[in-house]
C-alpha cells in the first residue's frame, strides 16, 4: 500500500492489486424494493476481473436496478452486495469511487462545462493521491478511445445525444476504476459507435478490469460478452456464456416474443433475431 | 448556456464522424493530438481568462475604493486618502486635518468595508446556491432565503432583543435564514435537481409567508423600532459604523473562507447527485455544509442592509459567461465581483442624487430585475416552454 497524503483522506483505504478472476462485485440473494414494488427478488451475480458481464432482459426486468445496487445507489432490502470483497456499506463514497466507475443511463449537466472538463471530472477521486500524475494521460486516452477528442473544447450542452453519451463514457473510463458498471452505454449510439463502445469494454476486460454492462441488443451481448445474466421479473433466469444461455426457447419465453438463435453463416458466431412473419 | 440539459431537445446525431477541430490557438502546438489537448487545449485559454478577470476585478475594486473614499459631501483627494492610509499602516504618509481624517475613518471606510463584505457575501452566496440547486436561477432573494433571514432580523429589532450585543441581529438572521434555506431545499428538489418553475413558485410562497411575518413584527413593534426596521428594509449602508462591521464580520468571513473548499465538489455536483456520489462526493454532507454557508453569507448581508436582491444572480452569471462554469474560479470570483458591484452601487446611490441618498436595495433591484426577467425568458426559450 502506498502512503496516503492529505489529512482529509487519512481514513481512506487505497485499492489493492487485482488479478484476473477476482470477484470485484457480487450480489448474494439480493432483494431490492422501490416503493412498494419488489424489483429484485433474490438475485445472485458475480462480476470477475477480466470479464465482460452483460445484463439483459425485457423492460422492467430489473437490469438497471441490479446495476444500481452493485453501484451502491440502491440499498438492498435483503441480501448483500459486495464490492472488492467488502459489503458496499462498509466503504465510504470516496473509497468506492477509487474502485468502481458508473455510467448512468442518461447524462445531463447543470452548467455548460466544456467536454474536456467533463471528462476530467472522472479524475476527481484521485486528487491528492500519487495517481493524480496520470490525470492528463487518463483524460487524453479516454477521450481518444471514445472519439470525443475532436470536440474537446465544445460545451457539453451543445452536443448531440450520441456525443453526450460518448463523453459520459469517456469520463467513466478516465476514472480508471477496476470495476466498470455501464447502464445502456449503447442506447443513444449509431451502429459504429455501439461497436466501438463494446470493443472498449473488451479491451478493459483484457487489461484485467471487471465490466458489467446493461444491454438491450442481444446481438451485441452475444458478440462481446464473456458471460450473460438474463433477468426476468426480478430474477436471474440464466447465467453463462452467450452460446450456452441464448437458446430459442429461453429467449422466446423471457421476451414473450418468438426469437431464433442461429450461427452466423460465415463466422459461426451467435446471432439472435426475432421471428417475423414473412 | 444556462439551461439545465435534461429537457433540451435531442439534436440529431452529427453525421460527420469527427467534426473538424476548432481553429487551433496560435500558440498551441498540434492541437488535435490527444496529449496536447489534455495538457491544455481547453484549460489554457480559460486559465488566462480567469487570471485577467481576477486581476481586472481587483484593480477595479481598488480604484472604486479610492474613489469611494474620496467622493461625497466632503471631498478628499486620492493622494490624501493614500497618505492617510499609509500613515495608519505605519508606512510613512501623514495624518490629515481633523475633519477629513474623521470623515475618512469614521464615515467612509466603515461604509466601504461594509459594502465589500455585503457584496462579497451576496455574490458568493449566489454562486454557491446555483451550484447546490443545479439551477442558474437560484439566488437567496429569489428563493426566499433572504426574506427568511430578514424575518429573524426584524424579530430581533421589533422585540428589542439585545442579549447577544451587536451580534443579536446577525445571529437571528442566520438562524431564520438557515431554517428557510433548509426548508426550501428539502421541498423544492426532485431527483437531485430543482425545476425552474418549482424554484420560482417555492420562492413566491416563502417570500409571501416571510412578508406576512415581517408585517406582523412591524405591527407588534413600537414606533422607534418601526423606524429602524423601515430604514433597514430599504437596504441602505448609510448607517455604517465600525461596530456594525464587527457585527457581521464573523458570519461573512466564515462563509467566504469556507466556500472555496467546496468548489471542486460543486463542479462534480453539476453531473447530478448520483454521478457526484460515484466520484466520491459525500453529497449529503456537501449539501448540509453548503446550505449552512449560504445561510451564513445571507445573514451577514441581510442583517446589515435588508434584502438586496439580484447581486447573487447577476454577478455569477456574467462571470460564467466570461470564464466558464468551473466553480474554482466562480465562487471566489463571484465574491470579488459582488464586492465590486455593491461598492459601485453604493457609490452611485449616495452620489447621483446628492445630497439625498438613494436606497441601495432599490438601485440593485432597478438593474437586477430586468436582468432576471431576461434570464427567465432565455431559459424558457431554451427549454421550449415550462411545460
Q: State the complex-level ipTM.
A: 0.89
- How many C-beta atoms surround the C-beta of residue A147 within 10 A? 16
pLDDT-derived band of residue B142, with 50, 70 and 90 as boundaries?
Answer: confident
Q: What is the mean pLDDT of residues A249-253?
A: 93
**Is there a contact between A58 and A254 (Cβ–Cβ < 8 Å)?**
yes
pLDDT winner (highest mean) among A179-188, B6-15, B83-92: A179-188
What domains, with CATH codes, occur in chain A? 24-99+177-278 (3.40.50.300), 112-176 (no CATH)
Whether the link from the prior residue into B355 is cis, omega within 30° of 0, is yes
B38 touches chain A (CB under 8 A): yes
Partner residue facing B1 (CB), from A94, A149, A157: A157
Dihedral over alpha carbons B295, B297, B302, B308 (to 10 degrees):
-110
- With a cut of 80, say whether residue B59 has pLDDT above it: yes
A14 touches chain B (CB under 8 A): no
A121 touches chain B (CB under 8 A): yes
If phi > 0 it is left, if psi is from -120 to 50 it is alpha, else beta; for residue A260 that is: beta
Which residues 119-178 in chain B show a CB within 8 A of chain A?
131, 134-136
B11:A160 CB<8 A: yes
pLDDT value of residue B371 = 86
Q: How far apart are CA B221 and CA B230, in angstroms?
A: 11
Element (DSSP H or E) covering residue A33:
strand A23-34
Gyration radius of chain A's alpha carbons: 19
Per residue in B189-210, pLDDT (tens digit) is 765 566 667 877 888 899 899 9
pLDDT value of residue A82 = 94
- With a cut of 50, say whether residue B10 has pLDDT above it: no
The DSSP call for residue B89 is T
pLDDT value of residue A1 = 39
B22 touches chain A (CB under 8 A): yes
Residue A122 has which C-alpha cell?
A: 472522472
pTM: predicted TM-score of the whole model, two decimal places: 0.83
Chain-wide mean pLDDT for chain B? Answer: 81
pLDDT value of residue B8 = 39
Write the CA distances from A134 to A3, A98, A123, B37, B160, integer angstroms. 17, 14, 9, 15, 60
Chain-wide mean pLDDT for chain A? Answer: 90
Overall fold of domain B119-387: ABC transporter involved in vitamin B12 uptake, BtuC (1.10.3470)
Amino acid at each position: 500500500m502506498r502512503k496516503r497524503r492529505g489529512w482529509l483522506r487519512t481514513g481512506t483505504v487505497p485499492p489493492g492489486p487485482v488479478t484476473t478472476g477476482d470477484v470485484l462485485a457480487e450480489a448474494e440473494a439480493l432483494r431490492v424494493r422501490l416503493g412498494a414494488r419488489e424489483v429484485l427478488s433474490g438475485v445472485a451475480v458475480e462480476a470477475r476481473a477480466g470479464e465482460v458481464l452483460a445484463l439483459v432482459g425485457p423492460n422492467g426486468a430489473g437490469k438497471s436496478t441490479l446495476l444500481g445496487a452493485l453501484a451502491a445507489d440502491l440499498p438492498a432490502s435483503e441480501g448483500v452486495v459486495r464490492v472488492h470483497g467488502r459489503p458496499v456499506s462498509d466503504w465510504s463514497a470516496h473509497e468506492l469511487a477509487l474502485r468502481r466507475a458508473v455510467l448512468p443511463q442518461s447524462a445531463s449537466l447543470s452548467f455548460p462545462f466544456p467536454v474536456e472538463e467533463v471528462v476530467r471530472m472522472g479524475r476527481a477521486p484521485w486528487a491528492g493521491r500519487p495517481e493524480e500524475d496520470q490525470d492528463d494521460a487518463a483524460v487524453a486516452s479516454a477521450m481518444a478511445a471514445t472519439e470525443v477528442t475532436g470536440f474537446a473544447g465544445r460545451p457539453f450542452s451543445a452536443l448531440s445525444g450520441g456525443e453526450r453519451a460518448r463523453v459520459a463514457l469517456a469520463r467513466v473510463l478516465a476514472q480508471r476504476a477496476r470495476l466498470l458498471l455501464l447502464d445502456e452505454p449503447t442506447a443513444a449510439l449509431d451502429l459504429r459507435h455501439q461497436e466501438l463502445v463494446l470493443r472498449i469494454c473488451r479491451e478493459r476486460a483484457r487489461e484485467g478490469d471487471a465490466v458489467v454492462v446493461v444491454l438491450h441488443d442481444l446481438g451485441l451481448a452475444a458478440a462481446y460478452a464473456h458471460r450473460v445474466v438474463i433477468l426476468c421479473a426480478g430474477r436471474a433466469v440464466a447465467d453463462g456464456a452467450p452460446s450456452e444461455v441464448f437458446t430459442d426457447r429461453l429467449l422466446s419465453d423471457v421476451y414473450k416474443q418468438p426469437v431464433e438463435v442461429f450461427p452466423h453463416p460465415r463466422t459461426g458466431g451467435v446471432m439472435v433475431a426475432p421471428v417475423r412473419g414473412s | 448556456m444556462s439551461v439545465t440539459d435534461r429537457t433540451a431537445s435531442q439534436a440529431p446525431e452529427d453525421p460527420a464522424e469527427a467534426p473538424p477541430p476548432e481553429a487551433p490557438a496560435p500558440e498551441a502546438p498540434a492541437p488535435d493530438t490527444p496529449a496536447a489537448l489534455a495538457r491544455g487545449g481547453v484549460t489554457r485559454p480559460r486559465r488566462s481568462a480567469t487570471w485577467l478577470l481576477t486581476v481586472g476585478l481587483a484593480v477595479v475594486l481598488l480604484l472604486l475604493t479610492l474613489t469611494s473614499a474620496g467622493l461625497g459631501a466632503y471631498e478628499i483627494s486620492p493622494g490624501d486618502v493614500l497618505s492617510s492610509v499609509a500613515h495608519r499602516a505605519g508606512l510613512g504618509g501623514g495624518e490629515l486635518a481633523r475633519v477629513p481624517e474623521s470623515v475618512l475613518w469614521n464615515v467612509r471606510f466603515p461604509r466601504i468595508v461594509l459594502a465589500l463584505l455585503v457584496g462579497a457575501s451576496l455574490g458568493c452566496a449566489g454562486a454557491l446556491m446555483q451550484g447546490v440547486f443545479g439551477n442558474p436561477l437560484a439566488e437567496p432573494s429569489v428563493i426566499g432565503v433572504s426574506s427568511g433571514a430578514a424575518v429573524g432580523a426584524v424579530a430581533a429589532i421589533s422585540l428589542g432583543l439585545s442579549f447577544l450585543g451587536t451580534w443579536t441581529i446577525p445571529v437571528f438572521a442566520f438562524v431564520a435564514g438557515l431554517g428557510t434555506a433548509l426548508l426550501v431545499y428539502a421541498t423544492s428538489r426532485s431527483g437531485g435537481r430543482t425545476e425552474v418553475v418549482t424554484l420560482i413558485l417555492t420562492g413566491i410562497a416563502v417570500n409571501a409567508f416571510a412578508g406576512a411575518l415581517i408585517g406582523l413584527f412591524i405591527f407588534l413593534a413600537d414606533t422607534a423600532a418601526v423606524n429602524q426596521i423601515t430604514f433597514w428594509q430599504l437596504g441602505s449602508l448609510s448607517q455604517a459604523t465600525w461596530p456594525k462591521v464587527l457585527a457581521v464580520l464573523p458570519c461573512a468571513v466564515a462563509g467566504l473562507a469556507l466556500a472555496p473548499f467546496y468548489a471542486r465538489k460543486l463542479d462534480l455536483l453539476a453531473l447530478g447527485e448520483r454521478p457526484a456520489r460515484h466520484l466520491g462526493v459525500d453529497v449529503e454532507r456537501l449539501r448540509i455544509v453548503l446550505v449552512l454557508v449560504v445561510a451564513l453569507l445571507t445573514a451577514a448581508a441581510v442583517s446589515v442592509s435588508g434584502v438586496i436582491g439580484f447581486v447573487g444572480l447577476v454577478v455569477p452569471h456574467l462571470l460564467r459567461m466570461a470564464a466558464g462554469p468551473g466553480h474554482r474560479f466562480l465562487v471566489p470570483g463571484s465574491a470579488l465581483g459582488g464586492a465590486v458591484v455593491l461598492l459601485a452601487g453604493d457609490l452611485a446611490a449616495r452620489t447621483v442624487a446628492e445630497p439625498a441618498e438613494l436606497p441601495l436595495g432599490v438601485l440593485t433591484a432597478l438593474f437586477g430585475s430586468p436582468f432576471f426577467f431576461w434570464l427567465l425568458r432565455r431559459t424558457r426559450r431554451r427549454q421550449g416552454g415550462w411545460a
